[in-house]
Amino acid sequence: MKITDSPSPNQSDRPAGVEPRLIVIHGTVGSDAGDLSHLCRSDSQVSYHYLVQRKGTIHRLVRPDRRAWHAGKSSWRGVADVNDYSIGIGLSNLGGSELFTEEQYEAAGWLCSVFIREYGIGLEDIVGHYHISPGRKTDPWYTFEWGRLFARIASAAEDD
């Protein structure tokens, strides 16, 4: 799949010796163009590693070896500061009742399969924003179909 580099200034170094071991799926609550613009402005103070737009276009905002600012106050399995050890994938979506597109599931599944292979991330460590920030965040919302994502991950792995 094609990835377009669209660097975000909203990033920092990971702690020394820390590699990604978690993938966090987000919903954005915006338009494709609006999401990209927002994530590339320094005053937004937010970024993902990757943004997947509705037609499946993938933008790399922050290299995976860097720390993107996507998780906020968060923890997973008792370890705080999820930004330190995760890869954030944002999917453009208005929230509420808007369905995610087949192209987004395909692109996100492919990205996840790359990180599973590269970093040894397990399927149990692919989570939503609401998993790492319960009570504070609700994305990627009830319209996100985890089964479809995991089917695309399996399909991408078979193609390799």
- What is the CATH class of 3-159? alpha beta
Inter-residue contact 75 to 82 (CB < 8 Å): yes
pLDDT greater than 90 at residue 153: yes
Q: Quick one: 150 exposed, middle or buried, by C-beta within 10 A (0-12, 13-18, 19+)?
A: middle
pLDDT greater than 90 at residue 135: yes
pLDDT at 75: 98
pLDDT at 20: 98
Q: Give tens-digit pLDDT for 78-112.
A: 999 999 999 999 999 999 889 999 999 999 999 99
For the segment 144-160, the average pLDDT, to the nearest whole number, is 92
pLDDT at 154: 96
Task: Please give the mean pLDDT across all residues of the chain.
Answer: 97
pLDDT at 158: 83
pLDDT at 160: 67
pLDDT greater than 90 at residue 159: no
**pLDDT grade, residue 157 (50/70/90)?**
confident
Q: How far is CA 37 from CA 21, 56, 138, in A?
A: 28, 17, 23
pLDDT > 70: percent of the chain: 99
Enumerate the domain spans of the chain: 3-159
